[in-house]
Amino acid sequence: MHTKKYIFSFFLLIFIFQGICFKAQSYDEIQNKYENTEENNEKALSLINKFIVKAKKENNYEKLADGYEDAIYYSSDCKKKLLYADSSIISAKKSFNNDLISRAYLGKGIIYYYNLKKYKDALSNYLKAYSYAKKGKDTYQKNKIVYHIGVVKCYLGYYKDALGLFSECIDYFEPKTTGDYHPNEIYNHQKGYLNSLHMTIVCYRYLGEYQKVDSLIHTGLDFINLHKLNKFKLEYHYILKCKGISQYNENKFNSAIQTFEHVLPVLEEYNDFSWASVVDFYIGKSYIGLHQEEKAVMQFKKVDSIFQKYNFILPELRENYEFLIRYYKKNNVPKQELHYTKILLRADSILSRDFTILSSRIHREYDTQNLVDIQSKLENQNKWGIGMIFLLFTLTVVLIYGIKKYYRKEKEIKSKYKTIEHNIQQWFEQKSNKITYENLSSQSKSTMSEEIYKDLQLQLENFEKTKKFLEKGITLNKLAVLFDTNSTYLSQFINETKGMNFNKYLGTLRISYITQLMYENEKYLNYTIQGLSDECGIASRQNFSDLFQEINGFRPTDFIKKRKKDLEDSKTSPDQSE
């Protein structure tokens, strides 16, 4: 009987001891057991689950959000990461801690950006994170989000917007990189400063401001060397990568290759495939500069292998495929030419989806329609015999038709061009008083006094004379405010005196203005269509081209071609006065 009593007491003590031990485990003690585990190692998840269970039992939502954040870090599956991110956001919201909610949204945005390359989703979550950060107290967190928003804007092509954000980050981080702060704070601010500096360099490079690029590269490298910041290995090599690109732009191809080959292993070590693909691309371009085409091809194929693996490409890497297509076309290897043509079409679909802002600015030697035509041609070039004879016959017919159509179009262009020549001096001599107040419709007279009419007449004449119509973003309402009137009066006045609505009136002024410039000053004939569009205040290249055709009768490219030919003929033909 006594023996059973002792055994029972023994097991009871063990049970109590284990309970006490488990209960005594703090959050820090659980975290200490997995905090040194490498990222994406799911072995840590069993311990993290204990952390989460403990937080749930205690209704400690702040710790629960922390636990889910740790689960994101150690999970290797992107879908799981997103689920944990959603759980972290829900828990953070229950804590009513704005800084914590902000951090949770930032974490989800980072998954979309770095893991899934879904930039718009990333930006959406970053903006939510920022809205909570503004209500919080953690200024570091706020600037960290500003940085991430800047990164997305940069990759989407909003370089000037991104520069403003990175400048804001640098102003915040740099003063705290030294001084009487906790070592962890100094580390975080040094990291934030270097990353912001790197992305500033990237933006200036895309904007073509190379002097600023070189200056900031020196600033970054000197900062790291001065403070002996060996712990910022990746950040150092980011800036070194920028130096390599500058060396390439200066035609120092051998130096550039040496720099890139020093950088590349570090980028691969950190699995930064996006910048690794850029480095491989520039190594290839450097070999082109050294006339070592075969080596360049090997590098461009490395860029392609990254694209195939991650389905990710940057706009500047489009040229990678244009080179490979040219190379295999020149060497008469249609199978490979077709292969890379198909890949470039796929790359274009991704760029059109993710880089809408850049799509109109990318230099495209091969536009989508050309690529489709080339693909079709390559797929069918080995089908000879009757099919080829029929094809040749068809091409001959098409060619004859094309020639006739060309000369018909040229004749039509000449006719419309002469009309433009006749009217070019009259466009900006329009007078608002062609229709007097007495000649207005009875409906307009009933709603608009003669005093208002004359005031609008004077202001609109000044609007045309001072070329205020060139300013972007003008609307009927904005102009009405500027004229200190209402939009109804202004709309009525334009309809009555100009015989068109406001949008048509504004478009006509802008197209007439740019057409006159193109006619009188040949420097404008060398502008890109986007450049001409910007010059006359029209934001969209396509809208400009469509409006130019609507008003002048043909596309701006046709006008430029005809005007250049006229100028060339006038220079080469003998003086008629002799």
Domains of the chain: 427-570 (1.10.10.60)
578 residues of the chain, pLDDT tens digit each: 555 555 555 555 555 555 444 455 788 888 888 878 887 888 888 888 989 999 899 899 988 999 998 999 898 888 899 999 999 999 999 999 999 999 999 999 999 887 887 777 888 898 889 889 888 888 898 898 899 988 888 877 888 988 999 999 999 999 998 888 888 888 899 999 999 999 999 999 999 999 999 999 999 999 888 777 678 888 999 999 999 999 999 999 999 999 999 999 999 988 888 899 999 999 999 999 999 999 999 999 999 999 898 887 888 888 999 999 999 999 998 888 889 888 888 888 877 766 554 334 333 444 454 455 555 666 665 454 445 556 666 776 777 676 666 556 555 555 555 555 555 545 544 444 456 776 666 666 667 788 888 888 888 889 988 988 888 888 888 888 888 888 888 888 888 888 888 888 888 899 988 888 888 888 888 989 888 988 889 888 888 888 888 888 878 888 888 888 878 877 665 444 33
- Write the DSSP symbol of residue 292: -
Q: Using CA atoms, how far apart are residues 61 and 53, in angstroms rounded to an integer?
A: 11
Structure tokens at 241: 């990568």
Q: Using CA atoms, how far apart are residues 377 and 490, in angstroms rounded to an integer?
A: 56
> What is the Cβ-side half-sphere exposure of residue 350, based on CA atoms within 13 angstroms?
19
**pLDDT the model gives residue 200:** 96
Integer-rounded Cα Rg, in Å, for the chain is 33
Handedness of CA 563, 565, 571, 577 (dihedral sign): negative
Q: Using CA atoms, how far apart are residues 125 and 147, in angstroms rounded to an integer?
A: 13
Query: DSSP characters for 200-213?
Result: HHHHHHHTT-HHHH
Furthest C-alpha separation in the chain = 139
Torsion of CA 130, 135, 138, 139, to 10 degrees: 60
- Write the DSSP symbol of residue 158: -
Other Cβ atoms less than 10 A from the Cβ of 548: the count is 27
**pLDDT the model gives residue 435:** 66
Structure tokens at 86: 């959603």
* 92, 100 Cβ separation under 8 angstroms: yes
Handedness of CA 271, 273, 275, 277 (dihedral sign): positive
**pLDDT the model gives residue 302:** 94
Q: Output the pTM of the full model.
A: 0.56
Q: Using CA atoms, how far apart are residues 34 and 44, in angstroms rounded to an integer?
A: 6
Nearest to 87 by CA among 117, 114, 51: 51
